[in-house]
Amino acid sequence: MLNPAIFKAYDIRGIVPDELDGEGAYKIGRAYAQFLRSSSKQEVVSSKGLTVIVQADARPTSPALKAKLIQGLLEEDIKIIDGGLATSPLIHFAINDVQADGGVMVTASHIPPPYNGLKLFTKGAVNIGFGSGMDKIRDLALQFASSPEEKKQPIYHSMRPHKVVDGNFEDDYLKFILGKIDVSKIKFFKVVIDAGNGMAGLLLPKLIKELPIEVTPLFFEIDMTFPNHEANPLKEETLVALQNKVKETGADFGVAFDGDADRIGFVDELGRVVRGDFVGAYLAEEWFLKKEPGEKILYDIRSSRIVPEVIEAAGGTAIQSRAGHTLIKQLFRKEKAIFAEERSGHFYFRDFFYSESAFLVFLYLLATLSKTDEKMSTIINRYNKYFATPELNFTVKDRSPERLREIAKNFSDAKDVSWLDGIFVIYDDWWFNLRPSNTEPLMRLFVEGKNPEIVNQKLELLKRLLAE
């Protein structure tokens, strides 16, 4: 089974087995291999062949999908390094550590079963999305699915029969990220960590042993049916257990990881949720721009205005990006920036292969907090300058560029209008972003301003316009 709808803007994701099954994974494996070969230098393909890292999360359907994926890759003459269980950042490290030509992670991130999926990478752990190969892989895979492979897509005839080689990258990955900070300068902190029964629990016990902190663990047992709560720190309702435990234990702060441990969320010592863009502003100001003055830092279009203000005030160059991790990573590499943040809890680092690592965010935050005696709540309050809605979703019949232009006509007196990602309208005392979802039939809206009254007033106006 291979439903065309599973090919998303940034990854492959669907219900198993109704939309994606083992045969579908096999066909995707072959399609990905053919794409990788066609986009690689011919002399590399001819001389040594292509090597791909394959890893997976621990959801029940992952082993079968992974096995069929590997079968498809082997039949296309791909050398396989099986890295076993992993977080998504671990495969970013593994691909770069062995200089592999690509990688595939079997995961659906924080989304519970029966969903599963695949994240595809090229050399350097560059994500494959629409516009960078996903559409070609989809078309090849569907061609396999709609007709006998032997007739349309013969198996690649290799003079080098390959086998699967096992690889374990856990210790090297932890050593690599721990080397980014001076552990001896980390102060003692009491921290509650919620692994959400996701893949963070694979590596957290090892990481914690290397740090001078006291940890109260929540849901470290890996169970990707997510029996306690969805492992998605962007949703505040998933942070209730963490908030309560922070207040109960008198911890300095709390940390939550998503299902594949590429996103991270925080609560302060009062149990209040800390927005991802505020964490990004803090690290930009107090860590990266103090280490590397004048550097470029990216922030996504959903972030508070305080983020670019802080970056510019600290002597950095603030660059706004479209939403979505594949899009922001493309711009991140192009600009060769030092750091990038998304309000969703993705954080990207030039010194981590222009990729995200939630563990590295945690380490950098520990190192930055160790330089001050201020509480996290006091620090974060500095960035809480404006009043904002969360990103709101609206189901709409029409999310076309023409519809956005119609809405934009109502704001012809705006100070500025940007079309970077949907429409971004700026007035002196309020501003908003309205953009079509990359993955769903939704419009996403974010409104921010200098006082709650104007934010609520303009939100109601925009709701009426969206209902027309």
d(CA 242, CA 109): 20
312 and 335 in contact (C-beta within 8 Å)?
no
Type of residue numbered 306: I
d(CA 86, CA 90): 6
d(CA 247, CA 272): 10
Q: Which of 39, 40, 46, 109 is catalytic?
A: 109
d(CA 323, CA 302): 7
How far, CA to CA in Å, does 35 sit from each of 32, 40, 73, 76?
5, 9, 11, 11
Tokens of 439: 């993955």
Tell whether the torsion through CA atoms of 198, 202, 203 and 209 is positive or negative: positive
**110, HSE (Cβ side, Cα atoms, 13 Å):** 20
**In which residue are the tokens 């505040």 written?**
236
Active-site residue, 321 included = no
Strand partners for 447:
432
249 and 190 in contact (C-beta within 8 Å)?
yes
175: left (phi over 0), alpha (psi -120 to 50) or beta: alpha
372 CB-near residues (< 8 Å, 6+ apart):
379
Which backbone phi and psi does 214 adopt, to 5 degrees? -105, 120
174: left (phi over 0), alpha (psi -120 to 50) or beta: alpha
Active site residues: 109
